[in-house]
Each structure stands twice: as C-alpha cells, then as structure tokens.
Amino acid sequence: MLDLAPQLTAWLDEGREVAVATVVSVGGSAPRGPGAALAVDRGGSVIGSVSGGCVEGAVYALCEQVLADGESVLEQFGYSDEDAFATGLTCGGVLDVLVTPVAAAAPLLRSAFDRAAAGVPVALVRVVRGPARLLGRALLVTPDEDPEGTLGGGAALDRTAAAEALAALDAGRTGTVEVSEDGSRCPGGVTLLVESSLPPPRMIVFGAVDFTAALVRVGKFLGYHVTVCDARPVFATRARFPDADEVVVDWPHRYLRTTRTDARTVLCVLTHDARFDVPLLEVALRTPAAFVGAMGSRRTHLDRDRRLREVGLGDDELARLRSPIGLDLGGLTPEETALSIAAEIVATRRGGTGVPLTGAVTPIHRVPVSRTA
C-alpha cells in the first residue's frame, strides 16, 4: 500500500473516501507479492494492482462493498479447475487480500502516506488475521520516533509489532509475522502484515559516455535515484544527462569514498579505462553495494582483474565484480546495452537465472531474495 503513497496522498488532499486492497500473503505462483495494493475511491477511480489482471475485477467490487459498509474484509482468491468462470489466478496461485476503508484510520494512514511519499523510512503494521476487534488496526513505526497508533491488543503486542517493523525496515522487506495476542512471538492467532517503505535505492553510473544516458533512463524506470559521475567537466553535464537526479564532476574513486552506499546500492562502471576503473573498483568492491559491474571486453576484464589483484584485492572481493557487465542479449545500441545491464541487475536482485522461460523448469514467480537491492 505504501507504494501508492503519492497518489493516495493526492486523493486524500481532495477529500476522497478510499478503500485500499492489499495483498497479505501469496501461495504458489502469483504475479504480485505481499504489500501490492489497489485503491478505489467513491467515484470509481482506481490505482494500483494486486495481480496481473486475474482478480482485479473482483477486488474492485470488494473495494466498493467496503466503501459502502465501512468494514474491513479479508478475502482469498484462488484458481478452480472445476469452475472455469470462477474468479481466480490462472497461474495457479492463491492470494489473501485485505480491503480497508482509509477513512477508518485516516490520521494514521495519512501520516504513513505522507512519510512514504516524502521518502522518509517508515513501516506500517496492520492486523490482517486475528480477533475481529483487531482486524485492520494499525501501528506506524519510524526509526527515530515513538510509534503512532495501536493494534488494540495491549502494550506488549504493540512493542512486538514495533520491533518487527524496525527489523523489516532494516532489511527493506514487506511480509507477514505470526504472533500471539499477548505479544509473544510464538504463533498464536494474530497475523501482522509489516509493510516497509524506504527512499529509492541509489544507482551510481561512473563514466559520462554514450551508453550512460540510456542506462540513466532505464535506472529511473526501475525506481533508482540515479547519479552520474565523471572527472571530465566537458562531458559530465546536465544537458547531456537531463534524466539523472545528480551529475557529479569528480574523480570516481574519490567521490565513491565520500558518498553514501548501502546494501541496496548499484554501481555501474562504464568508463572502461584502467586509469579510472582500477582505483574506482578498488573502492567499490569494498563497499556494501548490492551490485558492482564494469563495462569492457573480455580482454579488458582480464587486464583489469590482474591490475586489481596487484593493488591487493582478493578472490572474495573480485568474485563480487560483474564483468563484462550485462546479460548476453546480443544488443548493439546504447539502449540495448542498457537493457542488458538492467536485466543483470534485476536478476541479481531477484535471484533470477537470466535464461529464457521457454522450455525452462525454473519458477516464473519466485519468493523475493530481498527488497534491498
């Protein structure tokens, strides 16, 4: 639901009444994971999605019902071979969807939406299974402030929920937690959905080359905050990279030493010049970045590997390097090259193989490795 924060904030500013359907849990193969949401206002406008289209109509109708009666509803959607016209997921999965009227807890949810829309780290905990009096109750948790709201089960339950929310924020994940109503972590009849929202992860592209502009556009499309860095002011200009969030003129290795990186950061080295690459990768491979890739031919890679070993990098550090960067798509243009780089980033982030789905036996929809990359 927090992924819809900018649109939901705008709707609430206009005084609209809204029902929000959120995927609580997923079984089997399904196109969207926990936290995916669809919202409907009284006028019938809709934003978001909870599936690839299989159950959207039924969820839309459920939202209209919730807007009419003001009560939260938990509904399960699955696929039935016996009834070809039954609502369900044709991919064979099962979705549990919680539909909540926003007006029932507007101040708390509005606070969550405002923070998420502004890029402030925030976690929202809601009761999605349990006693009827708790269903839909919410707790808002941020790293530096006291929690807002209550789940209605007492102080111990709120403390446990807050601790789980902080852990989810630290890992950048969304999912469910089974607890007891007394706050103990033993499964005991209460299921909490913990949704986390973090600022966009960073993509730093080193090298103001012709491939960079295309990669910047793809990075923005994937939701990254994109920085371009190059030591040459004549090339590193806003005019050449209008889609970048930042354009930095500095020696790449010096900039990387001083800027923030974390376990969601993606570093793409497109300079393919040893003068820049070696000191930069020496720093990059010692950061917590989720992905470090470098452009160049296989010959360039072998020379680069030798030089990096000479400056002291070991096997474990060099094993992190994706070089030559990208998946083998046979691309030639900057846009096709950017697509191959982005494909490798997504595969690394989601635990994919990069092989064609045709004829493959690997799952199409996986349990995410994490939401941190």
- Rounded Cα distance between 173 and 34, Å, is 10
Question: Residue 261 in 3-state DSSP?
Answer: coil
Which residue from 20, 31, 16 is spatially nearest to 368, judged by alpha carbons? 31
Percentage of the chain beyond pLDDT 90 is 42
pLDDT of residue 28: 61
Give one word for 92, left, alpha or beta, with left for phi > 0 and alpha for psi -120 to 50.
left
Q: What is the CA radius of gyration of the chain?
A: 23
Cβ-defined contacts of 70-79 (< 8 Å, 24+): 70/101, 70/103, 70/104, 71/101, 72/98, 72/99, 72/100, 72/101, 72/104, 72/135, 72/136, 73/98, 73/99, 74/24, 74/98, 74/99, 74/128, 74/129, 74/135, 75/99, 77/51, 78/27
Judge whether residue 372 has pLDDT over 60: no
pLDDT of residue 353: 85
* The one-letter amino acid at 8: L
| Average pLDDT, integer, range 119-144 | 87
Collect all residues with Cβ–Cβ distance below 8 Å to 322 and sequence separation of at least 6.
Answer: 291, 292, 293, 294, 344, 348
Judge whether residue 84 has pLDDT over 60: no
| Average pLDDT, integer, range 348-372 | 69
156 touches 146 (CB < 8 A): no
Q: Hunting for tokens 């780089």 — which residue is that?
A: 341
Which residue from 289, 214, 285, 202 is spatially nearest to 248, judged by alpha carbons? 202
| Average pLDDT, integer, range 307-324 | 92
248 touches 241 (CB < 8 A): no
Q: For 152-210, what is each residue's pLDDT tens digit?
A: 888 999 999 999 999 988 877 888 888 988 888 777 789 999 989 888 899 999 999 98
Judge whether residue 106 has pLDDT over 70: no
pLDDT of residue 300: 87
- Rounded Cα distance between 138 and 127, Å, is 7
Residue 105, φ and ψ in degrees, nearest 5: -145, 45
Q: Which residues of 314-333 are buried (b: 16+ CB within 10 A; e: fewer)?
A: eeebeebbbbbbbbeeebee
pLDDT of residue 53: 63
Laid out side by side, the sheet with 189-197 consists of 145-150, 138-142, 122-129, 189-197, 175-180
- Rounded Cα distance between 276 and 296, Å, is 13
CA dihedral over 26, 28, 33, 36, signed as positive or negative: negative
Confidence of residue 220 (pLDDT cuts 50, 70, 90): very high
| Average pLDDT, integer, range 137-160 | 90
Residue 7, φ and ψ in degrees, nearest 5: -70, -40
pLDDT of residue 186: 78
Q: Can you list the alpha helix ranges (DSSP code H) found in the chain?
A: 5-13, 56-69, 106-117, 155-171, 210-221, 252-258, 274-284, 298-310, 315-318, 334-350
> For the chain, what's the residue count?
373
- Rounded Cα distance between 79 and 92, Å, is 6
| Average pLDDT, integer, range 77-96 | 55
The model's pTM: 0.74
Q: For 231-287, what is each residue's pLDDT tens digit?
A: 999 999 999 999 999 999 999 999 999 999 998 999 999 987 878 899 999 999 999
